[in-house]
Amino acid sequence: MTMNISNALLGLGLLVALPLAAQEENYVSEVWCPDQGNGTYKNPVLYADYSDPDACRVGDDFYLTASSFNCLPGLPILHSKDLVNWTIISHAIPYALAPVQSPERPEHGNRIWAPAIRHHDGEFYIFWGDPDRGAFMVKAKDPKGPWTEPVLVKPAKGIIDTCPFWDEDGKVYMVHAYAGSRAEFKSVISICELNAEATRAITPSRIIFDGHEAHETCEGPKMYKRGDYYYIFHPAGGVPTGWQVVLRSKNIYGPYEWRTVMAQGSSPVNGPHQGAWVNTPTGEDWFLHFQDVGAYGRLVHLQPMKWIDGWPVIGTDKDGDGCGEPVLTYRKPDVGQTYPICNPQERDEFDGYTLSPQWQWHANINEKWAYYAGDQSIVRLYSYPVVKDYKNLWDVANLLLQKTPAPNFTATMKLTFKPDKRYTGERSGLVVMGMDYAGVILENTETGLELSQVECLKADMGMPEQKNASMALADNTVYLRVKFSTDGSKIAESDGGHDLVVTCDFSYSLDGKRFKKIGDSFQAKEGRWIGAKVGMFCTRPAIKINDGGWADVDWFRITK
Q: Is there a contact between 211 and 217 (Cβ–Cβ < 8 Å)? A: yes
CA-to-CA distance for 332 and 328, rounded, in angstroms?
A: 12
Tell me whether the omega of the peptide bond preceding residue 146 falls within 30 degrees of 0, making it cis. Answer: yes
CA-to-CA distance for 432 and 440, rounded, in angstroms?
A: 9
Active-site annotation holder among 49, 54, 104, 219: 219
Q: Is there a contact between 85 and 280 (Cβ–Cβ < 8 Å)? A: no
CA distances from 309 to 44, 251, 282, 304, 343 (A): 29, 19, 21, 17, 37
219 catalytic residue (yes or no):
yes
Q: Is there a contact between 456 and 435 (Cβ–Cβ < 8 Å)? A: no
292 catalytic residue (yes or no):
no
Q: Is there a contact between 167 and 250 (Cβ–Cβ < 8 Å)? A: no
CA-to-CA distance for 453 and 467, rounded, in angstroms?
A: 6
Number of H helices, E strands in the chain: 3, 38
CA-to-CA distance for 289 and 54, rounded, in angstroms?
A: 8
Active-site annotation holder among 24, 35, 49, 52: 52
CA distances from 542 to 44, 77, 247, 396, 481 (A): 43, 36, 54, 12, 28
Kindly provide the residue ranges of all beta strands, DSSP E only, lying in 74-158, ordered along the sequence.
74-80, 86-93, 113-120, 123-130, 134-140, 151-155
User: Is residue 187 classed as helix, strand or coil in its secondary structure?
Assistant: coil
DSSP state of 322: S
Q: Is there a contact between 471 and 461 (Cβ–Cβ < 8 Å)? A: no
Q: Is there a contact between 232 and 211 (Cβ–Cβ < 8 Å)? A: no
Catalytic residues: 52, 219
